[in-house]
Amino acid sequence: GWTGEIHGRVVCDVCGDSSIAPEDHVLEGAEVAVLCITKSGEVINYQAFTNSKGIYTVAETMPESDRWESCLARPISSYHEQCTRKGDAHSGVKFTYNLPSGNSHTVKPFLYKPVSVPMYC
């Protein structure tokens, strides 16, 4: 069989400056959807939530002939009290998955912004 893994982080961009800085913090329990198309043309939809370190992971073992070919990861929602606005207008990340079995693909962090930016920003 073939094994693939996709992971990434979800971060609260406290100052809304689209960069990760010391004042920013990870978001636990944020929901991410990962959609993959396999070599055989099947579409598989995964749902993942971030852990206490703000990291989500999707992993699958399947026959080599059914392995992922391309995927789309996108943030669905943040359940944090303040940090609920999606940080990037183009929130989905598309990528081809052509890694050998046992390797993992890291998706760039998804950012959420607070509804109101703190004064110290």
Give the per-residue pLDDT at 109. Answer: 95
Question: What are the tens digits of pLDDT across the range 9-27?
Answer: 999 999 999 989 999 999 9
Helix/strand/coil (H/E/C) assignment for every residue in 72-96: EEEEEECCCCCEEEECCCCCCEEEE
In this prediction, residue 98 carries a pLDDT of: 92
Question: Tell me: the pLDDT tens digits for 58-108?
Answer: 999 999 999 999 999 999 999 888 899 988 766 899 999 999 999 999 999
What pLDDT, on a 0 to 100 scale, did the predictor assign at position 58? 98
pLDDT value at position 89?
64
DSSP tag of 17: S
Mean pLDDT throughout 4-13?
Answer: 97
Name all domains of the chain by residue range, CATH numbers in brackets. 2-113 (2.60.40.10)
Strands 110-114 and 2-12: parallel
Phi-psi region of 41 (alpha: psi -120 to 50; beta: other; left: phi over 0): left
**What integer is the mean pLDDT of 22-37?**
96
Query: Which pLDDT does position 87 carry in this prediction?
Result: 82
Task: State the number of CA atoms in the 13 A half-sphere of 83 facing the CB.
Answer: 22
What pLDDT sits at residue 90? Answer: 64
